[in-house]
Amino acid sequence: MSWLYPDRGDFIAVVGRMQDINVVRQVKAALFSSRDLSVYSMNAPWFIPGIDFSDHLNYWQHDIPAVMITDTAFYRNKQYHLPGDTADRLNYQKMAQVVDGVITLLYNSK
């Protein structure tokens, strides 16, 4: 997928199932409202590795639309969920930008 997505981990990704394309578009648009936040998205079938690597899978199993908002976790941080996964390794500014985007989405939703 390197021909579609950057090779540098300085972005947020919104990942959803094929049938959730509108949800992914809405979330991506809201995240774009946050300045200085690079956002990519992907709708993919269930068999693509990594598409179900988070809590959104529980919703999908009950056919509830959901997306994963990710910084690509362990692909970016080799200490993810290991003893070296400490607070000093986190980017709080980027996290705040993501939260701002989600708040924008919720504020503007029906």
| pLDDT 10s digits, 43-96 | 999 888 888 888 999 999 999 999 999 988 777 778 888 999 999 988 899 899
For residue 7, is it within any domain?
Answer: no
Work out how many domains the chain is built from and give that number: 1
Supply φ then ψ for residue 11, to 5 degrees. -140, 170
- Whether 73 and 12 have beta carbons less than 8 Å apart is answered as no
For residue 6, is it within any domain?
Answer: no
Host domain of residue 35: 12-108
Query: Which run of H or E residues covers position 31?
Result: helix 21-32
- Tell whether the model's pLDDT for residue 8 goes beyond 80: no
For residue 4, is it within any domain?
Answer: no
For residue 46, is it within any domain?
Answer: yes
For residue 87, is it within any domain?
Answer: yes
Q: Can you give the pLDDT at residue 69? A: 94
